[in-house]
Amino acid sequence: MTRIRKAIFPVAGLGTRFLPATKAMPKEMLPVVDRPLIQHVVDEARQAGIEHFIFVTGRHKAVIEDHFDRQFELELTLVERGKKADLALLSQDLPEPGTFSFTRQQSPLGLGHAIWCARELVGNEPFALLLPDVLVQHPRGCLAQMIDAAKDLDDNANILAVEEVPADRIHMYGVVGVGAAKGKAFKITKMVEKPKAAEAPSNLSITGRYILQPQIFDLLEKQVAGTGGEIQLTDAMVALARTQPFYGLKFEGRSFDCGSKIGFLSANVAYALERPDIAPAFRSELRRLLGEK
Any domain includes 165: yes
Interatomic CA distance for residues 91 and 107, integer angstroms: 34
CATH number assigned to the domain comprising residue 150: 3.90.550.10
Q: Which of 268, 208, 260, 256 is nearest to 18 (CA)?
A: 260
Any domain includes 1: no
More confident residue, 226 or 22: 22
Any domain includes 88: yes
Q: What's the one-letter identity of residue 38? A: I
Q: Give 18-46 pLDDT, tens digit per residue.
A: 889 888 889 999 999 999 999 999 999 99
Average pLDDT value for residue range 206-232 = 88
CA trace torsion 110, 215, 50, 260 (10° rounding):
20
Any domain includes 99: yes
Helix (H, G, I), strand (E, B) or coil at 114: helix
pLDDT given for residue 9 in this prediction: 97
Any domain includes 18: yes
Any domain includes 121: yes
Write out the residue range of the structural domain in which residue 95 sits.
Answer: 6-289
Would you say 85 and 131 are in contact if contact means Cβ atoms under 8 Å apart?
no
State how many domains the chain has: 1
Would you say 272 and 183 are in contact if contact means Cβ atoms under 8 Å apart?
no
User: What is the percent of the chain with per-residue pLDDT over 70, rounded to a whole number?
Assistant: 98
pTM listed for this prediction: 0.92
Average pLDDT value for residue range 135-158 = 93
Helix (H, G, I), strand (E, B) or coil at 253: coil
Any domain includes 32: yes
Would you say 161 and 146 are in contact if contact means Cβ atoms under 8 Å apart?
yes
Any domain includes 93: yes
When mean pLDDT is compared across 163-167, 233-237, 270-274, 289-293, the lowest value belongs to 289-293
